[in-house]
Amino acid sequence: MSTVETITQALPSLALRNNPSESQKQQEEPYKYAQFLPVFPKDEHYPPLTPFEHVDPGQRALAHPNPRAFLDNATSVIEITPRLGSEVRGVNLAQLDSDGRDQLALEVARRGLVVFRDQQEFIDRGAEFYREWGRHFGRLHIHPTSGHPEGLPELHLVYRDANTTFNFEQDDRIRSTVWHSDVSYELQPPGLTTFFLFAQPTSGGDTLFTSQVSTLSRLSPQFVEFLKTLKATHSGFEQAEFSRSGRRGGVVRREPVQNVHPVVRRHPVTGEEALYVNRQFTRRIVGLKLEESDAILNFLYDHIDKSADNQARVKWQPNTVVIWDNRITAHSAIVDFDKTGARRHGGRITPQAERPIPANPNLKLE
């Protein structure tokens, strides 16, 4: 059975109104990245994750006489917004040495998000390069429910085309926006995260990002001090149940967990404080009654959703690689291309980082 046949059978089907020009083209032309289509092996199981000591590569870059030296040959470095994001041209990520990667980690920590254009060499390097790249920044995370390429469980995938979909199952909602920080339910959630698209629609399918440093800074000092006394549960149980229901391949590779994290965390390298709750995985503030917890969390979610002045929008172009710091940002895909039949196929390299550090040094997480 071919890989294309495998994905057609493995992914939940969704009938769409196809755009003949988009869907016909996909069916008639060989797909260059077919080896990276998602599969869902039913016999794939992993033990619980164990704690590990994370050394942030950005910390090493602080000692460098020029911590932005990796940008010296850039032809263009522009801010996407004052508060969040930069776009870089002229830097070949695939050619960065260890020092350059450390400097990259520091730059992403400071800007939250960096978009690199013209990165075909990076995308075409393949599986072993993806693993080697990610391990520089932390222990690679294997997603417990999502599809991955055959033989490459460390590459988390998103995929949608005219006939199949997963990770975009939003048809029962009026909007597709779901702000989240990736797998924040883990004891040690991801830090520096790399994402790229193998294929994208001719228009649409952008990604929104928000600075959780900025969302926090817009709140009153008194309220921020109160938030620093709080911790909240982040749960992966709902995601696992969603997969078991058959709507995402029916795979649960590792039993779900929930963990307690500070509502306000501190970045280990920059020292910046960031809001650390998200609508997808945060469930309840510990120690508060349900109505109290819901009132605070819903206020914060609403603040994140509506604060366009803290947000940046990444418009995808071919051969773009986007790197963000998952500790201080949240993001959401925009599924506005669903009626076109276009293919959107992306891969995420997801190194874990430290257990979130409370901004309040007196806050006990246990």
Domain ranges of the chain: 3-356
Residues 154-167: tens digit of each pLDDT = 999 999 988 876 55
- Residue corresponding to tokens 């996909």: 26
CA 279, CA 69: separation in Å to the nearest integer?
Answer: 37
Averaged over 195-202, what is the pLDDT? 97
What is the model's pLDDT at position 169? 52
Does the reported pTM lie above 0.85? yes
Strand positions, DSSP E, the chain: 38-39, 76-79, 86-89, 113-116, 148-149, 155-160, 165-166, 192-199, 207-211, 231-235, 258-262, 264-266, 273-275, 282-285, 311-314, 321-325, 329-333, 344-349, 357-358
CATH second-level architecture of 3-356?
4-Layer Sandwich (3.60)
CA 102, CA 96: separation in Å to the nearest integer?
Answer: 10
Averaged over 112-128, what is the pLDDT? 98
- Residue corresponding to tokens 């599986």: 127
Confidence class of residue 170 from pLDDT cuts 50, 70 and 90?
A: low
Confidence class of residue 13 from pLDDT cuts 50, 70 and 90?
A: very low
Residues 263-318: tens digit of each pLDDT = 999 999 999 999 999 999 999 999 999 999 999 999 999 999 999 999 999 999 99
Between β-strands 148-149 and 231-235, what pairing exists: parallel, antiparallel or unpaired?
A: unpaired
- Residue corresponding to tokens 């020009």: 21
Mean pLDDT, the chain, integer:
91
